[in-house]
Amino acid sequence: MLRLLANGQHWKASLELRAGFERGAAVSVQDRIALAEAEAGWRNWEGVLEALAPDGAHPAEPPPRYWALLGRAQAAAGDSAAAAAALARFAEEASEDHPGVAAALSLLARVGVAERPLADTEAALAKLRSAFPVVADWTALEAARRLGAKGRPAETGSVLRGIRDPSVRRRGWNLIVDAWLAAGDTAKALASLDELAPQDDGRPSRLDLASRRWRYQLALADTAAAASSMTEVIGAATRGRMALEAAKALLAHGGNPEVALLLRMASALANGGEFGPAVRVWRTAESAGATLTDREGLARARALAGSGDRSAAVAEYRRLSASEDPAVAAPALAAWAAIRRRQGRDGDVRILEDRLVERFPAREEAVDVVFFRADDHHDAGRSGEALRGYRQVAAMSPSTNKAGLARMRWGQIHLARGEAKEAAEVFAAYLDDFLDGRRWEEASFWAARAAEAQGDTAAARRHAGRIRRESPLSYYAALAPDGPEEAYDSLAAGSATASVPAAPPPWLAREFETLAVMDEAGLEQGAAAHVGAMKSAARDSDELLFVLAMALGRAGRARDGISLGWELRERGRPWDAALLRLVFPFPHRALIEARAEELGLDPYLVAGVVRQESAFDPRAVSPADAVGLMQVLPATGRQLARSAGPRRFNRQSLTTPEVNVHLGALFLAELMERYGGDVPLALSAYNAGPTRANRWRRFPESEHPRRFIERIPFAETRNYVKNVTRNQILYAWLYGGDRGPGAGPA
* Catalytic positions: 613
Angstrom distances, CA of residue 424 to CA of 374, 384, 435, 451: 21, 18, 15, 6
Cβ atoms of 546 and 567 within 8 Å: the answer is no
C-alpha–C-alpha distance, residues 627 and 630, integer Å:
7
Cβ atoms of 549 and 581 within 8 Å: the answer is no
**In the chain, what is the straight-line distance between the N-terminal and C-terminal CA atoms, in Å?**
23
Taking Cα atoms as reference points, which of 184, 172, 120, 185 lies closest to residue 146?
172
DSSP string, 430-464: HHHH-TT-TTHHHHHHHHHHHHHHHT-HHHHHHHH
On the CB side of 251, how many CA atoms lie within 13 Å of its CA? 24
Biggest CA pair distance of the chain: 88
- What count of residues does the chain have? 746
| Contacts of residue 255, Cβ cutoff 8 Å, sequence gap at least 6 | 227
CA dihedral (658, 659, 662, 665) positive or negative: negative
Cβ atoms of 352 and 335 within 8 Å: the answer is no
C-alpha radius of gyration, the chain, whole number:
31
- Coil, helix or strand at residue 621: strand
* Burial class for 531, CB neighbours closer than 10 Å (0-12, 13-18, 19+): buried
| β-sheet bridge partners, residue 101 | none
Cβ atoms of 739 and 732 within 8 Å: the answer is yes
C-alpha–C-alpha distance, residues 31 and 59, integer Å:
12
C-alpha–C-alpha distance, residues 358 and 351, integer Å:
11
| β-sheet bridge partners, residue 621 | 627
Helices (H), 434-557: 440-454, 457-470, 475-478, 485-492, 506-521, 524-538, 542-554
Residues 321-343: b if buried by 16+ CB within 10 A, e if exposed: beeeeeebbbbbbbbbbebbeee
Helix axes 524-538, 506-521, angle to 10 degrees: 160
